[in-house]
Chains A and B, each alone.
Chain A
Amino acid sequence: MFISTAFAATEEAAHGATGVFPPFDPSSFASQLLWLAITFGIFYYLMSKVVIPRISGILGVRRDRITRDLDEAQRLKEESDAALAAYEQELTEARNSAHSIAQTSKDKAKAEADEKRATSEAALNEKLAASEKQIATIKAKALGEVDGIASVAVAEIVKELVGGSISKAEIDKAVAAVTR
């Protein structure tokens, strides 16, 4: 309502000035079209040749930079993962080799101990055998001597008790019969 009254009121004024409502005045069209073509043409040229390539360049550089940084971060992450894996691997290996070293040295020590024990046992057995042999010899010798002593004693006893003498061969025979 306000607008229409205002419109009506001013229509006259406008008509008074040029006779037509200015936006619909065809006499101004050529000038407006020409200047629009010039200004918009220049604007289009500036936008398409300067501003748009520049902004798309800026955005492209930024996108590339972000992509590159992300790639770099990814690469570094992979590197650190690899280093971690290598570390784990080496740790496992070290643990395994420590274990095997321990095992080897334990085995070796055991083997050496066994060997030593075997050697000393053999030596001891040898000594034991030698001693037994010596004991046997000594015993035999002693027994032999016992026979002699017995014979002598028998001869002496017989001489003392019976008087007279018995041949040595007979005595030996009798002693042997008793002791054997």
Chain B
Amino acid sequence: MANDPIHQFQLNKLIPLDIGGTDISFTNSSLFMVVTVAATAAFLIWATSGRGLIPSRTQSLAEMSYEFVASMLRDGAGSEGMKFFPMVFSLFMFILVANLFGMFPYFFTVTSHIIVTFALSMLVIGTVVVYGFYKNGIGFLKLFVPSGIPAVLMPLVIMIEVISFISRPISLSVRLFANMLAGHITLKVFAGFVVSLSGLGAAGIGIAILPLIMTVALTGLEFLVAFLQAYVFAVLTCMYLNDALHPSH
């Protein structure tokens, strides 16, 4: 079982809870959501508590993450997009920290479950749809009608646009989920090779060097992916929000 690469995604009920037949147990996933939120919030609050005019290292880190997301949002959705800053910042920090915590051995990766990433992407798309109709009214539907298209092609283009819009929450959630899942499985498989090859005696130990190198390299890659996927999620969020703010393209 130690070699099972799927085992790391198994949910364990730490505090079994059941309301009206629905299982809402506090699981290891819930625990790591709490840990992610608590650690990130605590760090950001502690780092900025000095309110230094000249920032300390930690305060500078908090400011950098703030300005990173702020410039991303401003570039993606313009200055009107800044009203969504708390959401984009929370999403980016939550996903980033959850991904990075997932890199610790024996830690559960919150973002490796499709339902979590799907919920986050539905939050984004829901915001886009609700705010898009709230701000633009029926004009939000212009999003599906690109200007300068011949009338003959219109039905086809509209269909494509609608399908692409509907596939957004799916692609957004699957991208993050699949990257986390595949990365962690790959890591576990290669690490598993090290263990099983070592069991084969001296020659096996010699060969085990190869998957060990691979594991080290993959760990580096996974740290990159952890950051990159949080970044991609946030950038796409900004772009979708831009559609809600400026539907006619």
Q: Does B165 contact A (CB under 8 A)?
A: no
Q: Does B234 contact A (CB under 8 A)?
A: no
Q: Is the CB of B48 within 8 A of A54?
A: yes
Q: Is the CB of B66 within 8 A of A59?
A: yes
List B residues at the A interface (Cβ < 8 Å): 1, 4-7, 9-11, 17, 22-27, 29-30, 33-34, 36-37, 40-41, 44-45, 48, 51-53, 55, 59, 62-63, 66-67, 85-87, 89-90, 93-94, 110, 112-116, 119-120, 123, 177, 181-182, 185-186, 189-190, 192-193
A35 touches which of B5, B29, B44, B190 (Cβ 8 Å):
B29
B66 / chain A contacts, CB cutoff of 8 Å: 52, 55-56, 59
A34 / chain B contacts, CB cutoff of 8 Å: 24
Q: Is the CB of B115 within 8 A of A28?
A: yes
B190 / chain A contacts, CB cutoff of 8 Å: 2
CA distance A2 to B190 in the complex (A): 9
B44 touches which of A10, A22, A27, A51 (Cβ 8 Å):
A51
User: Which of A36-44, A117-125, A154-162, A171-179 lines the interface with chain B?
Assistant: A36-44
A residues 11-70 in Cβ contact with B at 8 Å: 11, 13-14, 17-18, 21-25, 27-37, 39-40, 42-44, 46-48, 50-52, 54-59, 61-62, 65
CB distance from B190 to the nearest CB of A (A): 8
List the B residue with the shortest CB-CB distance to A65: B53
**Known contacts A52-B85, A58-B48; is A31 also within 8 Å of B41 by CB?**
no
A residues 47-101 in Cβ contact with B at 8 Å: 47-48, 50-52, 54-59, 61-62, 65
Q: Is the CB of A32 within 8 A of B48?
A: no
Q: Is the CB of A14 within 8 A of B36?
A: no
- What are 28 A-B interface contacts by the 8 Å CB criterion? A2-B189, A3-B186, A7-B6, A14-B4, A22-B11, A22-B113, A23-B112, A28-B113, A29-B115, A30-B23, A35-B29, A36-B110, A39-B34, A40-B120, A42-B37, A43-B41, A43-B94, A47-B44, A47-B93, A48-B86, A52-B66, A52-B85, A55-B44, A55-B63, A58-B51, A58-B52, A58-B59, A61-B53
List A residues at the B interface (Cβ < 8 Å): 2-3, 6-7, 10-11, 13-14, 17-18, 21-25, 27-37, 39-40, 42-44, 46-48, 50-52, 54-59, 61-62, 65
A31 / chain B contacts, CB cutoff of 8 Å: 11, 17, 23-27, 29-30
A48 / chain B contacts, CB cutoff of 8 Å: 86, 90
B37 touches which of A3, A30, A39 (Cβ 8 Å):
A39
B87 / chain A contacts, CB cutoff of 8 Å: 44
**Known contacts A47-B89, A51-B44; is A35 also within 8 Å of B114 by CB?**
no
A43 touches which of B10, B30, B40, B181 (Cβ 8 Å):
B40
